[in-house]
Structure 1
Amino acid sequence: MKNAPQATPNEEDIEERLLAVAALIDEFEGYAQNRQQGAHAARIALLADALAIKLQLAAHDRFALRQAALVHDIGEMVMNREYTKASWILHPDERFDMQRHAVIGEQEAAKRGLGRAVQLLVRWHHEWWNGAGYPDALEREQIPLAARILRAADTFAALTSERSYRPAFSVADAKKYLTEWAGIEFDPRVVKMFLTLEEREK
């Protein structure tokens, strides 16, 4: 990725390849590319990397995080369910089925030769700080810091993107959401650091 610092030529090649996959996932999920924000998954990767720098993640952990951010919802595309972009409240059976995308995404990441760290971040990107997430109901520090970062970055990017069934949240409202759910869905430390990001980093 162009804005991801300290990437080696090989890492850049991998990320460029994953950007093409990410574009397909974005299209499937119904994310229209915003000229100002850029592609949805790429934006998540940049947000996550900016947070990772502030939280002093090692270079190899940042590389895995950026890869995972680009393909975190690949399981949804593989499942190819009609209700992925549904404007209605999902039936409990649909919701339970949709939760499988994290595990299917982990498997798909493995098929594509991505490292185990990337696979696990894809698996755990819906884990909640309080243990109410899925698929493994991990909580607090059981969830790797990179996965906690991805949870916050993914949520912020999704909220501030226009969808077919709702308008985009303002940056202020999205920040408020993260703040209100800190300690429940999100790691409070990650949210606190997220709020310090410069506007250009969002």
Structure 2
Amino acid sequence: MARLLLAALMLRDPETALHGRRVARVALRIELVLSERMRPLPFPLDRVSLRTGAVLHDIGKVGIDLEILQKPDTLTEAERAAIRRHPRLGYEMCAPYEELRAVLEIIRHHHERWDGAGYPDRLTGHAIPLPARVVSVADAFDALTSERPYRAAQSAARARRIVEGEAGAQLDPDVIEAFLAVPVLEWEALRCLPDG
């Protein structure tokens, strides 16, 4: 089912599909650091599920008008509200499929914020599932280092500093610490890999 959903997303919005693949690479690298630091406790999600959840985290965007997703100008409040629906839409789309149950929390909660100002459920801190917190950091990094209709891509070094500045506000400080443990040159190298 995950492959079918990704294929549908690739047909409708290739950039969002490729973004999911890049987010998965970053999330898996962060997970390696976290798993090492959490021993003897295992990471609460296997790597296959983390990868699948990261790849599909924005699947709900198939229910959002493409004109809104690709708009180069500032979004209106109504357009921002439409975008904020995508985690819930993705969750509802994937919930009926048993093989996707393990990734539902990533899809639903990747836009929650550590400080509680996120969406859709306004969760705070450790109430946000750890895999969703990992994907949030990976998502923020990839968004910053990717070209957008409304701004140029940031370098990995600059994006890393911006992400670091969100520790304790938007993002989990412990996940940020794991992210920062990876040398910036490694993040640059990951960014250069093909999106396949």
Q: State the TM bucket, normalised to the shorter chain.
A: 0.7 to 0.9
CA contact (8 A) 1:148 1:187 kept: yes
How many residue pairs match? The answer is: 181
**Residue 31 (str. 1) matches residue 15 (str. 2):** yes
In structure 1, distance between residues paired with 2:12 and 2:148 = 12
Normalising by structure 2, report the TM-score.
0.81
- For 1:63, give the aligned amino acid: V
d(CA) in 2 for partners of 1:22, 1:44: 14
Taking the aligned partners of 1:180 and 1:119, their CA distance within structure 2 comes to 28
Indicate conservation of the 8 Å contact 1:23/1:41, yes or no. no
| Displaced runs of 4 or more, over 6 A | none
The answer as to whether partners of 2:30 and 2:134 remain within 8 angstroms in 1 is yes
Give the structure-1-normalised TM-score: 0.79
Q: Distance in 2 between matches of 1:189 and 1:29?
A: 32
Which residues of 2 match residues 106-121 of structure 1 at below 5 A?
106-121=91-106
What is the match of residue 10 of structure 1? Answer: none
1:58 counterpart (17, 32, 43): 43
How much does 1:22 deviate?
3.5
**Are residues 1:136 and 2:115 paired?**
no
Q: Distance in 2 between matches of 1:27 and 1:175?
A: 31
Q: Where does residue 181 of structure 2 map in the other structure?
A: 196
Whether the 8 Å contact between 2:88 and 2:120 is mirrored in structure 1 is yes
- Structure-2 separation of matches of 1:98 and 1:132: 16
Find 2:21's aligned residue among 38, 42, 58: 42
Structure 1 unaligned blocks of 5 or more: 1-13, 34-38
Residue 121 of structure 1, CA deviation: 1.1
Measured on the aligned residues, the alpha-carbon RMSD in Å equals: 2.4
The structure that is helix-richer by fraction is 2
1:42, CA displacement in angstroms?
A: 1.4
Long gaps (5+) in structure 2:
36-41, 192-196
The yes-or-no answer on 1:68 pairing with 2:18 is no
